[in-house]
Structure 1
């Protein structure tokens, strides 16, 4: 059914007159009459009984008016929510990021966001595949490289490096390597260089494997690597952002690290004025600032 014709029908049924409906819609009586007749023809039904004192809905007209009245109420409610959304934060926000960053950094901080905005519903999509934001596969992305898709607003959040970590228990048992050559005497826990990950991490792993590492454990995401490391299985290649939440890990071979990996937040240009987007963006930026301050204080202590 034609939405415009339904709108005109609803106005006529509500007013009980073609003339009064025309005044509300700023249309001539003849234009209103033509639209109503066209709707009746499309439905093959008579919607009004016409008489000298005005219009009365037929049984079929009553059914349609019930539907348009419900539609009008929902549209009015949606309009009010849209106006309110300029001040309130609610509804679904689809966030995509990598499995490692999403599980190890973002998810543990989300309770703070929910505490402030309990009506916000986040759909967290963790995968290495880059989702198409302009095609609305997600609303906002945090990625380990600058997005190349067009029509995106992007902001650099921070830089990450892949470093070597081990648990104190593992090092007490197996010793701490003093040179990169000694990595061969330890079990290396890492992502397989061929698995989906940032290039800097894969390059560091490939470099370490040239030292004839005696044993490896490969996992397809950093969450699994971390679990192996904190359970004393070996020396792990992990992003430096997790040290804030796992301060007991010991950095091994401080001179060995990947190149910097930029972290970007991006969202479609069309969502520039979304309250949900701006709230999430500001939350992440505030958490990044707090993270940097804590890392600086740890370095000074």
Structure 2
């Protein structure tokens, strides 16, 4: 089987169109189309259903794509291992993290890592869904729960705690609650219906008030922790936030410090195949050091 045509097929299957695959491969749409047609002719099977809205893999195309994806993933893994065999670590590491953790805690620390290891490029993928490390959607994941896949290596990174926060302007205008019962008289911001499922009792303030016989209607709901932070910073009200997300934000103040919400461990996760990767271990050790320097 022609490797060039297989490479083009893999790109088209991932992109879902000749045009988008051509942009990735730096080829024209017609050149990509000719390569696919030639591959189909040589295999004597149709690999795609052509539709006006795009391309869909046939049953035979799905089979070839699964095999090709596995082959290219293994080649990428081998390339990473060969690059790590050099004395000085270099190349790209693809790291995935949730939007809140990745944007607010991890991103501000990347500059220091790049200054220490200028030959390494960090490709940060922010996604609240869990990317499949086994299928090489990323090399490293910072997860807010322990992975369940048996072929992944995990290292506890930090314990995430939640507390109540508000902006100084909000507290100056409305006062500061001294007990959890007082929160009933303040604007409360909570997670919406699509709250993170990996955090137990994420809207713990609502539950606490309910158990005290207090019913409250939140002033605002949002399904993303970064949205909660921005709402608090704007002076809208009080919200439960993970402590890591408020670091570096002087316009956010913890209230009721003895009243804590849910806590959970976060993990540095990577595939077994990357156990000996210098880039993976260097980045892991760097983050462990940064966690130790943080005061959560």
Sort the TM-score into its range (normalised by shorter chain).
0.5 to 0.7
CA shift, 1:197, in A, is 4.8
- Counterpart of 1:269? 272
Native 8 Å contact 1:187 1:213 kept in 2: no
Residue 253 of structure 1: SS of its match in structure 2?
strand
2:107 is paired with a residue of what secondary structure?
Answer: helix
Deviation at 1:288, TM superposition (A): 0.7
Alpha-carbon shift at residue 99 of structure 1 (Å)? 1.1
Return the offset for 1:213.
2.6
Q: Which runs of 5+ in 2 are unaligned?
A: 4-77
Distance 1:100 1:234 in 2: 19
Q: Looking at CA atoms only, which structure, 1 or 2, has the larger radius of gyration? A: 1
Q: Using the alignment, how far apart are the partners of 1:119 and 1:85 within structure 2? A: 14
Shift of 1:208: 5.2
Contact 2:105 2:247 survives alignment (8 Å): no
Match of 2:242 among 236, 239, 242: 239
Summarize deviations over 1:31-68 as a string: whole Å, max 9, x none. xxxxxxxxxxxxxxxxxxxxxxxxxxxxxxxxxxxxxx
Deviations 1:51-106 (A, max 9, x none): xxxxxxxxxxxxxxxxxxxxxxxxxxx99x93674422222211111111111100
Distance change >3 Å, CA 172–CA 271, structure 1 → 2: same
Aligned residue in 2 for 1:43: none
Structure 1 match to 2:141: 141
TM-score by length of 2: 0.66
Distance in 2 (alpha carbons) for counterparts of 1:205 and 1:221? 17
Paired residues of 1:204 and 1:257 also in contact (CA < 8 A): no
- Corresponding residue for 1:194? 194
Counterparts of 1:78-93 in structure 2, within 5 Å, are 82=82, 85-93=85-93
Within the alignment, does 1:255 sit opposite 2:258 as a pair? yes
Say if 1:185 and 1:214, in contact at 8 Å, map to a contact too.
no
Q: Measure, in 2, the Cα distance between the counterparts of 1:257 and 1:198.
A: 18
8 Å CA contact retained: 1:186, 1:213 = no
Structure 1 residues 184 and 238, CA gap change in structure 2 (3 angstroms): same
In structure 2, the partner of 1:172 is 172
Who is 1:104 aligned against?
104
RMSD over aligned Cα atoms: 2.5
